Amino acid sequence: MGYLGNHLATVVVSAFAAFLTGMYFVMPDALHQLLLVSAVVTWFLAFICWIAQKSADYAHKWGSSHSHESHSHDEKKSSAKLVTHPPVSVSVEELKQFKESFTADLNELKDQVKLKDNEITKLRAEIANLETLVQIEALKAELANLKVLAAKERKRK
């Protein structure tokens, strides 16, 4: 990537930080606080850029001191080998046997699903009956309460 490698951002930010540092000594006293804060922040940014590039260089196992041409990109070898099997010929009779066995399994599964659906329908009916029984019991309790209230009203009269 040229003479600077991938450190172009670090160089540009460092140059700007140096410019701000130089301006600190040239500008009037009223701007010293602003330039001081700006220079410190910019030098910190330059340091962060430098650290980030060093980290990237380390992660990719080549630094800016190595030229790109001398670095060979060795691809990692896969430990898994590709194994090919010769084609297997299957007779028509074997295919029919497989088809029949799969059809039998499928029909068995369909029957099991139908049984489960019937069980679900029965359970829903039982739940509906239970709800009806609960409602009947609630009505009986309410009727009993009304009878008690009516008896109390008769006693008062």
Task: Write out the chain's pLDDT in tens, 157 residues.
Answer: 556 778 899 999 999 999 999 999 999 999 999 999 999 999 999 999 999 999 988 888 765 555 555 544 445 555 566 777 788 787 888 889 989 999 999 999 998 888 888 888 888 888 888 888 888 888 899 999 999 989 888 888 7
Q: Are 13 and 46 in contact (CB under 8 A)?
A: yes
Q: Report angle CA 126, 132, 135 to the nearest 5 degrees.
A: 145
| pLDDT of res. 49 | 94
Q: What is the pLDDT of residue 42?
A: 97
Q: Which domain holds residue 48?
A: 8-59
Q: Is 78 a domain residue?
A: no
Do both 149 and 101 map to the same domain? yes
Q: Is residue 84 part of a domain?
A: no
Q: Structurally, how many domains does the chain consist of?
A: 2
Tokens of 93: 């009779």
DSSP-derived secondary structure letter, 30: G
Is 73 domain-assigned? Answer: no
Q: Let me know if residue 97 belongs to a domain.
A: yes
Helices (H) and strands (E) in the chain, counts: 3, 0
Cα distance between residue 150 and residue 156, in whole Å:
10
